[in-house]
Structure 1
């Protein structure tokens, strides 16, 4: 196996604005949907949904300590220190997101919040100082909560114009610093967790199944319009999609299980098909027919999807599942956004996510064979209950083992002939959990001194995995 990565390989880390930034008060930022989530008891599995009343209560509540994503890890004030640490590790890329509500607090303003504009400008300048390529996600599980309350999020077609205005502003403002874009993080989240993915409040929705797929269509249109504009502003721009790789294997070699696996894979993959091929695939069309889902579309919109497809395919990969035709007695487990059938041959994390490094190689080959476009591992990581020892050190050999095995499989995929453009480890610095809003589920190479209630010094310190990743990058990119 070739132990070297391509010289232009984008290796580094990733996180989202809502999980790290903080900086809510006194900065002109508006509340986002992510700012409405309270700390959740881990034993209850976390939650990605809120009732309408919970959203309204959160908007009125100024007791920010109840809402961990309002504080993040205060990257807003610590970004220079954090970027310096990323540079020390040898990062070639940092995948991050922009908070829509930091630039346009309600999403409907005619003028932007200059404090927010200046923050991201200084952030990109700091990355350029260390020669770290930013890969910028325009919408990562947050939007101005005002748009969720007023329009029920992406259920309303008016969101297309509002988002496109925001996206164009970002592209125009930062075009000298950013050439790599992702429009929506894990866009399939709209199906699985509609409030987080699209600002949809289920109880305000008459037909949730219909509404979710219609909202997703609106996001596809916004994506195509953003791709078109980015290419007009800078023909060298690279705009990608990003979805959850819901990898499943047949539970057995019974033909019924294999057919179940095939059908589920085709349906799961339609979100990248629309963005990479410009078409809804046959499987999802049949699914719509069976479920009585009728999308409100125009021929002009469908042509826009065909004409403006992505330049690369990004995905998150954390775990795999199995599937069977007869699910009656199947053991269930979690895998990122999904709950599915458990694979008895795999180890699991404390959160029940199955560890399957070989699945990353499978996923890379799957996407490249299907689309023939560069493939990008936008997220891959391991959340654990890291503990400092008496000297303040975190010995996370389990994370080193996890990352090394996944990168080994990535290199095998490259040897298979797959055009892998990059790998950004998720949560490269400890951040607030997406599902439970807890701090104790830690992914990072960098430990942040903060507990679930927000107590701590916010001091950054290196875990054992910091030096391991640093050495890996140095050796693999030499």
Structure 2
């Protein structure tokens, strides 16, 4: 076998509560439930999160399909807005408790390791309305209470925990670039949100360690979407621009998670621009002592960067864009459906970066995938989507991941985004990512060609 992976390698896929479960029986709305209520036209075909792929009702059948495809692991999330009745006391909603217990128990029964995430862009709306959401350190403390409650309820069976999925997207979408509610453009507030999310993650890790949940094989990490920043050229200005993009979009969370401190250069730049976060010595000390046991890395596309070529428009105040421009590299390969560059070599670059610069911490690919619009046009007469493009995409990325592992990077698994076509925020079902196709009207689920290929991959532990 040309590409054989380490023994006990995680093979599986990832989804999230708000994107798969549907909104059935939830005691609270999250930010997306509320946004869809007030602005349904912001969502592709006006499709909201009410039903999604119906995991709330079909988790047994869905998990059985995943097992059939050879999954030995699966990441999803616990919705704060489903599990908790009262945020101040962290009192538990019985229906939510029963649901998550059932999902965990069914996964274990099938021999699937559950990886459980505590936040996937789904802040309860009431905490935004009442306190300002992630701008508030009070919400940070409420999140730590929620995390502690989850550990108390489920850590006897769940041994792999994640504090946040892609926290930089909360910053970008909600406070810089208007693609998630509350759609604010304010660099100073964005920076504070970034700091508060780091603090929240550290407080959850402290609860995990203080409660002894790291005993008997328990571990806690964070999932970061790393977009390697490649400069247009080796000229100093381009290199400095790419370095800033890396500092802000990657290392603001990566360095704190693994090393326990913010990059000094980033802190210096934010201070010079008068947008540095409000922090205390006690908080920074807690962050320094509350680092992750492992990392999940989501990789989809690189970031191409060049030095600014036109004067920055200061009318909206400071934004990260003051320090760089995005660069459209001639000849780049594109997923035209999603508008993202396809660059598998970055998988290797990420692996080596973690090995060299982040203590070779254990990590896994927690998301990688290819979103395609209109997949029904690739459906054969038997109703199966022939998605060889997805299989080829996965193969290319795994080849580079394998190279990184061969050179000593401590990678423990690969998860596709996503097992079953899921609801993707304002894109809804525009682009499909899954091994399993979903008919949104009938909820019929059909394995795609890539799913059968993945089954062989998992059986052989390579290809």
TM beyond 0.5 = yes
> How far, CA to CA, are the matches of 1:198 and 1:279 in structure 2?
29
CA displacement 1:237-260 (0-9 Å, x = unmatched): 211122221222121233332332
- Distance in 2 between the 1:58 and 1:264 partners? 32
| Displacement after TM superposition at 1:105 (Å) | 4.8
Partner residue of 1:35 out of 33, 47, 70? 33
State the match for 2:212 in structure 1: 233
Q: 1:102 to 1:118 in 2, by over 3 A?
A: same
1:256 aligns with 2:237: yes
- Alignment partner, residue 430 of structure 2: 440
Contact 1:148 1:199 in 2 (8 A): no
TM-score, length-scaled by structure 2: 0.88
| 1:347 and 2:333 correspond | yes
Q: Could you tell me how far 1:110 is from its partner in structure 2?
A: 4.9
Q: Does residue 6 in structure 1 map to residue 6 in structure 2?
A: yes
RMSD: 2.6
Residue 106 of structure 1, CA deviation: 6.2
Select which of 395, 418, 433 maps to 2:409.
418
- Residues 161-180 of structure 1, C-alpha deviation per residue, up to 9 Å, x if partnerless? 21111111111100121111
Aligned position for 2:49? 69
* Superimposed CA distance per residue, residues 124-169 of structure 1 (whole angstroms, 9 cap, x where no aligned partner): 0010011111111100010111111111101111102211111111
Residues matched between the structures, number = 438
Q: CA, structure 1 residues 274+200, in 2 after alignment: closer, same or farther (shift >3 Å)?
A: farther
Deviation at 1:69, TM superposition (A): 1.2
SS where residue 323 of structure 1 aligns? Answer: strand
**Aligned mates of 1:426, 1:407 — CA distance in 2:** 14
SS of equivalent to 1:69:
coil
Q: How many Å separate the matches in 1 of 2:372 and 2:179? A: 28
Deviation, 1:36, is: 3.0
Match of 1:42 in 2: none
Of the structure 1 ranges 96-105 and 398-407, higher mean CA displacement relative to structure 2 is found in 96-105
Is residue 154–residue 198 contact of structure 1 (8 Å, CA) maintained in 2? no
Give the 3-state SS of the residue equivalent to 2:270 in structure 1.
helix
1:467 matches 2:457: no
1:344–1:100 Cα change, 3 Å: same
CA contact (8 A) 1:18 1:69 kept: yes
Within a 5 Å distance, the mapping from 1:20-419 to structure 2 comes to: 20-22=20-22, 24-25=23-24, 27-38=25-36, 57=38, 68-105=48-85, 107-108=87-88, 110-194=90-174, 201=182, 208-231=186-209, 232-234=211-213, 235=215, 236-268=217-249, 269-327=251-309, 340-349=326-335, 350-372=337-359, 373-385=361-373, 386-387=375-376, 388-419=379-410
Cα distance between partner residues in 2 of 1:339 and 1:77: 46
Distance, in Å, in 2 between the alignment partners of 1:174 and 1:425 is 25
SS at match of 2:412: strand
Distance 1:253 1:294, change over 3 A: closer
C-alpha contact (below 8 Å) 1:315/1:377 kept by paired residues: yes
Aligned: 1:430 with 2:445:
no
Gap runs ≥5 in structure 1: 39-54, 60-64, 330-337, 451-455
Contact 2:305–2:325 (Cα < 8 Å) also in 1: no
Structure 1 pair 171/197, CA: closer, same or farther in 2 (3 Å)? farther
CA contact (8 A) 1:28 1:105 kept: no
In structure 2, what is the equivalent of residue 50 of structure 1?
none
Answer whether contact 1:189 1:197 (CA < 8 A) is retained.
no
CA distance in 1, matches of 2:396, 2:366: 17
3-state DSSP of counterpart to 2:432: coil
For residues 22-43 of structure 1, the C-alpha deviation after alignment (integer angstroms, 9 at most, x for no partner) is: 1x24x243211122344xxxxx
Aligned residue for 1:139, secondary structure, equals coil
CA deviations 1:396-431 (Å, max 9, x no partner) are 010010011111111111011100022111112101
SS of structure 2 residue aligned to 1:162? helix
Question: Are the aligned partners of 1:383 and 1:441 in contact in 2 as well (CA < 8 Å)?
Answer: yes
